[in-house]
Amino acid sequence: MISRNGNYEKTPDVVLRTFEEWGRAYAFTPDDPEIYDLNATAWFIVELCNGRPFPQIEADYVNEVGSRVGEDAARQQFHSGFDQLLARNIISASDM
């Protein structure tokens, strides 16, 4: 079980290339060479992971997205996206 008490950030060596006009971003993970196509949800989660604590990241996501899809759906989207980004090492716990 991954602790949700830590602070999270984009993994330092991950290269993120955004395409705002497409609502997408691509993440390159050099430690396990792979390019991931991030949808707007995943991209937003990565942007929120800037060294802040998990509860704050989650709350900011739900506050922004919940008005459009409902708070429960937003929380579900967040957890699914966060877990996938963490598993792919696109985001990671930080030392902040």
Q: What is the pLDDT of residues 52-91, one digit of tens each?
A: 999 999 999 999 999 999 999 999 999 999 999 999 999 9
Say what the pTM is. 0.90
- For residue 28, tell me if it sits in a domain: yes
Nearest residue to 42 (alpha-carbon basis) of 9, 80, 2? 80
Q: Using 50, 70 and 90 to split pLDDT, how confident is the model at 38?
A: very high
- For residue 3, tell me if it sits in a domain: no
Report the number of distinct structural domains present in the chain: 1
- For residue 2, tell me if it sits in a domain: no
- For residue 52, tell me if it sits in a domain: yes
Looking at the chain, how many residues does it have?
96
- For residue 4, tell me if it sits in a domain: no
- For residue 29, tell me if it sits in a domain: yes
Q: Using 50, 70 and 90 to split pLDDT, how confident is the model at 49?
A: very high
Q: Residue 82: its pLDDT value, please?
A: 97
Residue span of the structural domain in which 72 resides: 10-93
Q: What are phi and psi of 46, to 5 degrees?
A: -60, -45
**C-alpha count within 13 angstroms, C-beta hemisphere, residue 11:** 18
